[in-house]
Chain A
Amino acid sequence: VAVRPVRIYPDPVLKQVAEPVGTSPGPDALELAADLVDTMRSHTRCVGIAANQIGVLQRCVVVDVTDHPKAESCHGLLVLFDPEVLLAEGAEVAREGCLSIPDLTANVRRATRVVVRGREPAGAERIVSADAFEARALLHEIDHLDGILFLDRVANLETDVFRRKQR
């Protein structure tokens, strides 16, 4: 169990698709999950991290939005292998940043309510129904597993307050 260095863009691992862990997470997968938790906790204001971000191409994310002012649903520490988004609805634009792209933030449109299915370290299937900031954090981390960064989803420029497409 250890804090692992966070990979920083343009490290190619951040643009690669991670592999499924499968139905029975082995010792390596459990160590990966524990390292992700430790690494997330070592960074202030970090609410989630994905395996790609520590250089491992295995589908594992951890999210914890406990005590975050923008959180509504809160499941405490979530550790999910092979997470998949079963349902996503609503849309909201909000500013995001990422440990792997320091110093940049951008406005990203995300669903406001999601249902995510994954597998817990103990091996049981877990279905999480999340909204608001927890939904955003889950979607951001699951994107990492597909090599998608928040910059790929920028909704508009910061200066876009008044502009609207008129056709």
Chain B
Amino acid sequence: MGSYALAAIGRDRPGIVAAVAKVLYEQGCNVEDASMTLLRGNFAIQLVLAAPEEVGREELEAALGAVATELGLQMSVRKVEDTADVPHPSHILTVYGADRPGILYRVTEALAAARINITDLNSRLVGATTPVYAVMLELAVPDGADTSTIASLAGELGVDVTLRELEDDVL
């Protein structure tokens, strides 16, 4: 079995996931982790799949080609490593404020400098009169990491910043 990452994006319409999933099923592939969402009217697919030995990147691209053309999807397939040893999120960071250039950059730059790994990120731009940018991140914060620079971005960028530990109650 080989692992492949499939990325696709196109103007949203009903049936995109079904069309892609059908091809993968017919090729004997197993879809593992997937994240799919609507981004301002564009539907984005990110997934990692396991393919049978005889199905390689070229076979996958050929099989998916017709669907991509029919649905107007930009698509790419590439071989990846499938590893279960990934950082586990420990914190949630919310940053929101009047939109301006550089919010995402300055926040993630501070995270990178503190060796903090982003495990998940969603952002939304909303608001008709004053555009408001809100970004929510799940982070794997190493023990002893310095998070003080993140809080200090609030005043500098005129945004509201909340960093909290993820709750891990098991019910």
Report B-chain residues with C-beta under 8 Å of the C-beta of A109. Answer: 167
Cβ-defined contact, B94 with A160, below 8 A: no
Please report the C-alpha to C-alpha distance between residue A91 and residue B136 in the assembled complex, in whole angstroms. Answer: 21
Cβ-defined contact, B138 with A160, below 8 A: yes
Q: Which of B90, B97, B136, B162 contacts A10 (CB 8 A)?
A: B97
Cβ-defined contact, A10 with B130, below 8 A: yes
Chain B binder among A44-52, A60-68, A99-107, A133-141: A99-107
Interface size class of B (residues with CB under 8 A): 20 to 34
B169 within 8 A of A: yes
Shortest beta-carbon distance from B165 to chain A in Å: 9
Cβ-defined contact, B160 with A15, below 8 A: yes
B106 within 8 A of A: no
Q: Mark contacts of A152-167 with chain B using CB atoms, 8 A cut-off: 1 yes-contact digit, 0 otherwise.
A: 1111111110011111
Q: Mark contacts of A84-109 with chain B using CB atoms, 8 A cut-off: 1 yes-contact digit, 0 otherwise.
A: 00000001000000000111101001
Given A103-B127, A106-B136: A157 and B122 interface contact (C-beta under 8 Å): yes
Given A15-B160, A106-B136, A157-B120: A151 and B127 interface contact (C-beta under 8 Å): no
Cβ-defined contact, A9 with B138, below 8 A: no
- Measured CB to CB, the nearest residue on chain A to B122 is A157
- Measured CB to CB, the nearest residue on chain B to A91 is B169
B50 within 8 A of A: no
Please report the C-alpha to C-alpha distance between residue A158 and residue B121 in the assembled complex, in whole angstroms. Answer: 10
Cβ-defined contact, A156 with B166, below 8 A: yes
Shortest beta-carbon distance from B47 to chain A in Å: 13
- Measured CB to CB, the nearest residue on chain B to A148 is B162
B89 within 8 A of A: yes
Report B-chain residues with C-beta under 8 Å of the C-beta of A153. Answer: 162
Interface residues of A in 74-92 (CB under 8 A from B): 91
Cβ-defined contact, A164 with B168, below 8 A: yes
Please report the C-alpha to C-alpha distance between residue A153 and residue B162 in the assembled complex, in whole angstroms. Answer: 8
B19 within 8 A of A: no
- Measured CB to CB, the nearest residue on chain A to B168 is A165
Cβ-defined contact, A152 with B126, below 8 A: no
Interface residues of A (CB under 8 A from B): 8-10, 15, 91, 101-104, 106, 109, 149, 151-160, 163-167
List 10 tightest A-B contacts by C-beta distance, closest first. Answer: A103-B126, A165-B168, A10-B98, A152-B162, A166-B88, A154-B94, A157-B120, A151-B94, A151-B96, A165-B88
Q: A156-B166, A159-B35, A163-B120 are in contact. List 17 more A-B contacts (CB 8 A).
A: A10-B98, A103-B124, A103-B127, A104-B126, A106-B136, A151-B136, A152-B160, A152-B162, A153-B162, A154-B162, A158-B122, A160-B120, A163-B119, A164-B170, A165-B88, A165-B89, A165-B90
